[in-house]
Amino acid sequence: MLTFNNGEYDEEFCEYKEYVWFSKQNKAKIRLQLDEIGFGTVYCLVQAITGPHPNEYENLVSEEIDSTEHGVTRGVRQTSCKCGWANKNNPRILGGKETKLNEFPWMVYLNVLFTTSGSKWLSNCGASVITARHVLTAAHCVVSRGIVTNPENVEIILAKHDAEKPTGRERSLSAEKIFVQDIYLQKGLSFHDIAMIFTKETIDFSTPFVGPACLEPTEYDLVNKHIVIMGWGLTENYVPSNFLRKARARVMDTAVCGGRGWDVCTVASPSSTCNGDSGGPLVWLDPETNRYSQVALVSRGSSADCKSGASVSTLVVYFYDWIQEIINATDPNVSTCHKV
């Protein structure tokens, strides 16, 4: 028998099912009583909440914010190299939301060719620039049936905004090497869905339209806070977006979504990550630098319709040491940027 004391009285339960309880005070008690031959287990998730919903992220009210200066003016702290800025000129309006041409200069459009059993198909993914020779994406963007695609099958397009019509700013690069963790190849999508691409050419940072996202060595505390998601993936009408789109998403406690230590769970309504957004960056505006730092990359959703449940992304800082090892092994003359 399971007994829950909400601070005022006891409630008793005998069934095997999921319960949601609210305490009447700032404390509660749970007691599990078994007979001599019985067995049972209780898994508990305890949260302090400020509203009627059991998950705190549902109680928080989203507010419209003025993002005009986000990533533009300098913050109180500097970064080790130039990173995470935003381009706010040349506004375009799409679906009632303002987007900008090359607003996020680290954003990458990937074309990946796969060949299996004599058939070929082209896949599109997002990615992000983190150094002048390295691009970060999801492992499932460059792996098919446990095999990493050949580097010559990957096209890296920088400064892309319109998926159908060039703006003249785009630059195409080739991949020299692709790095994926062994555990992903062995266990699949839910395990370490991250990949690094080492480019043949050096990425030109001489224009404001291309540059790296910042990358911090320590984890931000972002539970119940907003981060920015972006991509060319399917819209709410299940059609690919021609333009790079952005939306805000709230970070959930991984205990709520069943995530692991390398996961970041987000919820966004109505916009969410979907097919075609994979590998793209999720960034947070660091208030100390007023620069965008990449905290995650799109991995998978919890439902086929991309609307219900949480989206699960890969926590980049979990793999920070792995990222640095690859950089040092391939081109030690470049580095990621962080606040100082």
Where along the chain do its domains lie?
Answer: 101-212+320-330
Take residue 146 and report the two structure tokens written for it.
């446990």
- 187 pLDDT above the threshold of 50: yes
Identify which of 195, 108, 188, 193 has the alpha carbon closest to the alpha carbon of residue 149: 195
Q: Looking only at Cα atoms, what is the longest distance across the chain?
A: 76
Spatial distance between the Cα atoms of 38 and 112, rounded to a whole number of angstroms = 55
- Where do runs of H (alpha helix) occur along 131-239? 182-187
Classify residue 169 by burial, with Cβ atoms within 10 Å: 0-12, 13-18, 19+. middle
The whole-number average pLDDT for the span 45-62 is: 76
Domain 101-212+320-330 belongs to what architecture? Beta Barrel (2.40)
- Where do runs of H (alpha helix) occur along the chain? 56-59, 182-187, 254-257, 320-330
The pLDDT mean for the chain works out to 86
Percent of the chain with pLDDT over 90: 56
Please tell me the predicted confidence (pLDDT) of residue 193. Answer: 97
From the CB of residue 329, how many other CB atoms can be counted at a distance below 10 Å? 11
Q: Which residue has the higher pLDDT, 149 or 54?
A: 149
Q: In which band, very low, low, confident or very high, does the pLDDT at 127 lie, cut at 50, 70 and 90?
A: very high
- 128 pLDDT above the threshold of 80: yes
Spatial distance between the Cα atoms of 208 and 130, rounded to a whole number of angstroms = 15
Please tell me the predicted confidence (pLDDT) of residue 314. Answer: 97
Are 154 and 141 within 8 A, CB to CB?
no
Q: Which residue has the higher pLDDT, 94 or 236?
A: 236
Range from 57-71, 194-208, 290-304 carrying the lowest mean pLDDT: 57-71
Distances (CA, A) of 93 to 100, 247, 272: 8, 14, 19
3-class DSSP string for 108-143: EEEEEEEEECCEEEEEEEEEEECCCCEEEECHHHCE
- 330 pLDDT above the threshold of 80: yes
Percent of the chain with pLDDT over 70: 86
Please tell me the predicted confidence (pLDDT) of residue 182. Answer: 96
What confidence tens digit (pLDDT) does each residue in 196-231 have?
999 999 999 999 999 999 999 999 999 999 999 998
- 46 pLDDT above the threshold of 50: yes
In the block, tokens 């680290």 appear at 106
